[in-house]
Amino acid sequence: MIKVLFVCLGNICRSPMAEAVFRGKVRDSGLEGLIEVDSAGTGSWHVGEKPHAGTRKILRQKRIDDSGIEARQVRKQDFSESDYIIAMDSDNARDLIKLAGGLKTEHVSLLLDFLPESEFRDVPDPYYSGNFQIVYELIDRSCDHLLQYIREREQI
Active-site residues: which are they?
8, 14, 125
The count of C-alpha atoms lying within 13 angstroms of the C-alpha of 108, restricted to the half-sphere facing its C-beta, is 23
- Taking CB under 6 A as the binding criterion, the range among 3-11, 25-33, 111-119, 137-145 that sits at the site for ligand 4NP is 3-11
x/- binding map, residues 10-49, to ligand 4NP, per CB under 6 A? Answer: xxxxx------------------------------xx---
- Taking CB under 6 A as the binding criterion, the range among 9-17, 19-27, 72-80, 144-152 that sits at the site for ligand 4NP is 9-17
x/- binding map, residues 121-140, to ligand 4NP, per CB under 6 A? Answer: ----x-x-------------
Contact 85, 35 (CB under 8 A): no
Sequence-ordered strand ranges (E) for the chain: 2-8, 35-41, 84-87, 108-110
Q: Rounded distance, CA 38 to CA 49, Å?
A: 15
The pairing of beta strand 2-8 with beta strand 84-87: parallel
CA 60 vs CA 20, 33, 48, 51, 66: distances in Å: 11, 24, 20, 12, 8
Residue number with CB closer to ligand 4NP (44 or 61): 44
Query: Applying CB under 6 A, which of residues 4, 5, 6, 8 lies at the interface with ligand 4NP?
Result: 8
User: Interface with ligand 4NP by CB under 6 A: which residues?
Assistant: 8-14, 45-46, 125, 127
